[in-house]
Structure 1
Amino acid sequence: MQTSTVESEANRLREKIEKDFAEARQRTLDLLEPLRQEDLYRQHNRLMSPIAWDVGHIGNFEELWGIRSLPNSGEVFPELDEMYDAVKNPRSVRDKLPLPDREELRSYLTQIRRAVLERLRSVDFSSETHPLLQDGFVYQMLLQHEYQHNETILQTLQLKLGDPYVPTLPLRSLPEENPEVKGMVDIPSGDFFMGTDQVSGVYDNERKRHRVHLPSYRIGIAPVTNGEFLEFVDAGGYRNRELWSAEGWAFVTESEIDAPKYWFRNSDGGWMTRSMAIVGPLNLRRPVIHVCWHEAEAYCRFVGMRLPTEAEWERAAAWDADREESLLFPWGNSPWSSERANLDMLGMMTAEVGAYPSGVSPVGCHQMIGDVWEWVSSDFTSYPGFEAFPYDEYSKIFFGTDYKVLRGGSWATRPGAIRNTFRNWDYPIRRQIFSGFRVASDT
């Protein structure tokens, strides 16, 4: 009886993986559907890869980990490894690579997926001891990798040269008539558990779970809105040297920016914004988006605040003091739904602050998951007891002072690639990402 139960659970896991793989691949293909050949192979911005490289890299990564890294497996296209090596080929040179044409790419993805599924069907999860296969770890990693590249592709499409990107995905209307949400939440001093000890479905940089003590602090009940950031713009914040660090001021003066990316003025001087092909007047109640870490830091100085630390952010999002446990999502441990957070490209833009009351965290913070990735003050460093798994190049080589952490996901993030413990990171000058922030202060 016990053996049959274990086998049934293994079969259910296998079926779920196959279903999730099919859904993830269809989303990738749907994103590519409106694109012409030149759109796929053009380098729309030096910060980003040609979209065709991202697509091929999805397949190469899947072959490497879903076939070659597993016992009793062969190879399919090892000759493509060097071309799709993200470390050897930085984004700035990927347009020079001999990328396969559109049909070859699609055939490549199909052949790799067929081989991965064939290998999956021979996996005995009920008795498997290989670390990549325990609890389906490697398949969850492959899914998240494709999800993350979907968002990377959307970043590129927002930068697209020529006509703006018009998705064929059906878009949903975002919630309207939202209650006004503003102010700060007071968090008392105390301990909480940060990170996770889970292995399958998470990345190595999220481990290990460890106790953190925080003094009392205050954190924004919601992300900073366009209306709030506009006050900084109108007050000459981009021209006020006193609000910027030395690095931030050097970036501002060199780049000559005077507003968030994708803000522009109409013929009457009013502010407009663009998200893909959606252009309209600046909505003052939506979270500000496409700002870099330096802009976030300067705004915080302008209002007498600061950015939250990574630990402060996670405690406000995850810690349920009544139950003395960390939650998987701000709303609890149940899966995402469209009533809880703006994820999964629902409307191809941010929703107004206060749009998701059913997604509020235990301390009362809104929209800590979805809408905008939130910059925090912390550098991207390892947790106590960190062990790289299954490879150094995901997290370990990026630890240090060069990168700042972002939390919470954005409207472009797939639900399977975000949770309270998920850690994103980027250079503090990056603005093409779907990034915003919330403020914090000492008490």
Structure 2
Amino acid sequence: MIPLAMLAQFRALHHHLLRLIDGLDDAEYRRQYHPDLSPAGWHLGHCLWVENHWLRAVVLGDDRTTRHDARYYQPQYSPKPERGARLPPRDAQLATVAAGFEANILLLADQDQRLDPTHPLMTDHYLPLFLLQHHSQHLETLRMVMTQRALSRHRHAFHPQARLRATPVAHETVSLEAGDYPIGGAAPKAFDNELAAGNARLEDDTIALRPVSNAEYLGFIESGGYDNPALWDALGRAWLDDHPVEAPDHWRRDGRGWWYGIGLEGPHELEPRAAVHGINLHEARAFARWAGAHLPHEFSWETLARQGRLSLAGQAWEWCDNAFFPYAGFKPFPYLEYSTPWFDGTHYTLRGASRYTPAHTRRPSFRNFHTADKRHIFAGLRLAF
């Protein structure tokens, strides 16, 4: 039987997902606000479909609730630009998803003893933990959608009360001595790409105590960092040529030239010491070169995070300088496409979490991954020296 605390977590997560969509009208709920993001309404229906697929079609052998929409809610078969037009009316979708979520909570409560506790996916509550984390990732993605919505709706300059001023890059660091360190997650919560857990041999390393702040990043901007080709590698220069940006994705300037940010709720002051986010790997690498540093390998990051020595971890996802790769002994689970397609040399690892990441996926071993061009993902950086 699923513990009551876990059922309460499901109910809370369902509530957050529904509440984010509830404030959108029908046109907004089906609009694609960013090329890399699905319409908000699709995320909601996808979360219900995934619950029904694993709990009902796979564990119970009953695919009546998933058969009709299988290709639509499986990303590999459903192009993002086509998803919005195919959504049902907003009110109907909200009602269907709310009822489906409630039915699945009752199923997880298992008062009728329909779920076989010996099923491989139910062992140690693996499947409920998997679904909680799946929904948490979509909740964070929905917060990206809402941020892009706020950016698209912003029409008039916001006037911050305090001007963001550049500060020098801090050189407070923590040192990692060479040695063998544990790496990876633990079942049943860990995803397949966190396994098999083992030890890694690491060399001496020195990493910044804190992630790069808004004020430090402003120093890079004001020194001409975006205009200095020496700071950008070939891929970074090519990206910058095609995307002539001058600041993080959500930064804007008023008529005085003062910077401010735009978040889920609209424009806001930029906190100088808060971790910068809204930058991609190319920008993170260019900043690191400008600062006389580099990005850390994810194993050094994980080791210091396990030791509790990284300050402010969790304000923004932190780009690491290594491609996403399988650990020794990796086995795809519970399905091939969760991690395997992304071990392609073009996806890079991010560690930590953002201020918008639910608690279910916050752990030192968790591995996020994106291609180097992504700026909408609440990502920043921490330096290594």
Please, which of 356, 366, 376 is the counterpart of residue 422 of structure 1? 366
Q: Which residue does the alignment assign to 1:317?
A: 305
1:145-168 deviations in Å (ceiling 9; x for gaps): 11111111110111116546xxxx
Q: Matched residues in 2 for 1:280 and 1:53: separation?
A: 28
Q: Note if 1:294 corresponds to 2:288.
A: no
Higher mean C-alpha displacement, 420-429 vs 128-137: 128-137
Residue 337 of structure 1 is matched in structure 2 by none
Q: 1:18 to 1:282 in 2, by over 3 A?
A: closer
Instruction: Give matches, 1:203-218, under 5 Å.
Output: 203-218=191-206
Aligned residue-pair number: 368
Query: What does residue 311 of structure 2 align with?
Result: 366
Residue 80 (structure 1) aligned with residue 69 (structure 2): yes
Distance in 1 of aligned mates of 2:38 and 2:188 = 29
- Deviation, 1:213, is 0.9
Structure 2 matches for 1:170-189, cutoff 5 A? 183-189=172-178
Amino acid at match of 2:44: V
Deviations 1:88-141 (A, max 9, x none): 123233234x2111222123223433443444304588x832210001111111
In 2, distance between residues paired with 1:306 and 1:185? 15
Q: Does 1:253 align with 2:241?
A: yes
Amino acid aligned to 1:435: A
Offset of residue 77 of structure 1: 3.8
Question: Deviation string for 1:271-302 (max 9, x for gaps)?
Answer: 22222334244332111110000000011111
Structure 2: gaps of 5 or more residues: 155-168
| Partner residue in 1 for 2:165 | none
| Match of residue 375, structure 2, among 428, 431, 439 | 431
Aligned partner (choices 120, 125, 140) of residue 151 of structure 1: 140
Contact persistence 2:107–2:114 (CA under 8 A)? no
Residues 280-338 of structure 1 show CA distances to partners (whole Å, capped at 9, x for unaligned) of 4433211111000000001111111000001011011014xxxxxxxxxxxxxxxxxxx
Q: What amino acid is aligned across from residue 17 of structure 1 in structure 2? A: M
Q: Which residue of 1 aligns with 2:321?
A: 377
Q: Which amino acid counterpart does residue 146 of structure 2 have in structure 1?
A: L
Cα distance change, pair 62–239 in 1 and its aligned pair in 2 (3 A):
same
For the Cα contact (< 8 Å) 1:157–1:276, is it kept in 2?
yes
Query: More helix per residue: 1 or 2?
Result: 2
Q: Distance in 2 between matches of 1:404 and 1:92?
A: 25
Residue of structure 1 in register with 2:256 after alignment: 268
Shift of 1:16: 2.7
1:103 and 2:91 are equivalent in the alignment: yes
Give 1:16-95 correspondences, 5 Å limit: 16-71=5-60, 73-95=62-84
| TM superposition shift of 1:232 | 1.1
* In 2: Cα distance, 1:255 partner to 1:160 partner: 20
Question: Helix, strand or coil: the match of 1:386?
Answer: coil
Query: Would the aligned equivalents of 1:375 and 1:404 in 2 still touch at CA under 8 Å?
Result: yes
In 2, Cα distance between the equivalents of 1:298 and 1:94? 36
Under a length normalisation based on structure 2, what TM-score does the superposition of the two structures give? 0.90
CA distance in 1, matches of 2:101, 2:256: 53
Q: Distance in 2 between matches of 1:221 and 1:269?
A: 31
Q: 1:399 to 1:236 in 2, by over 3 A?
A: same
Q: What does residue 128 of structure 1 align with?
A: 117
- In the alignment, which residue of structure 1 is the partner of 2:352? 408
Aligned equivalent of 1:202:
190
- Residues in 1 aligned to 2:373 and 2:325: alpha-carbon distance in whole angstroms: 18
Report SS of the residue matched to 1:79: coil
- Unaligned 5+ runs, structure 1: 1-9, 165-179, 320-360
The equivalent residue for 1:392 is: 336
Point out the more displaced range, 74-83 or 285-294. 74-83
Work out the CA distance in 2 between the residues paired with 1:42 and 1:51: 7
How many angstroms does 1:86 deviate by? 0.7
2:126 to 137, 147, 166: 137
Change (3 A) 1:234 1:136: same
**What CA distance in whole angstroms lies between the structure 2 residues aligned with 1:209 and 1:236?**
43
Per-residue CA deviations over 1:23-51 (Å, capped at 9, x if unaligned) read 11111122123222221011112221111
* 1:221 match: 209
CA distance in 2, matches of 1:130, 1:229: 50
CA deviations 1:369-402 (Å, max 9, x no partner) are x210111011111111011111011111111211
| TM-score in terms of structure 1 length | 0.79
What amino acid is aligned across from residue 268 of structure 1 in structure 2?
Answer: R
- Counterpart of 2:333 in structure 1: which amino acid? F
- How much identity, in percent, do the aligned residues show? 30
- Cα distance in 2 for partners of 1:129, 1:309 equals 39
CA distance in 2, matches of 1:200, 1:297: 35
1:284 to 269, 272, 275: 272
The CA distance in 2 between the partners of 1:235 and 1:224, in whole Å, is 16
Counterpart AA for 2:91:
E
Partner of 1:335: none
Distance 1:17 1:280, change over 3 A: closer
Whole-angstrom distance in 2 between the partners of 1:238 and 1:290: 15
d(CA) in 1 for partners of 2:359 and 2:229? 40
232, 236, 240: which one aligns with 1:244: 232
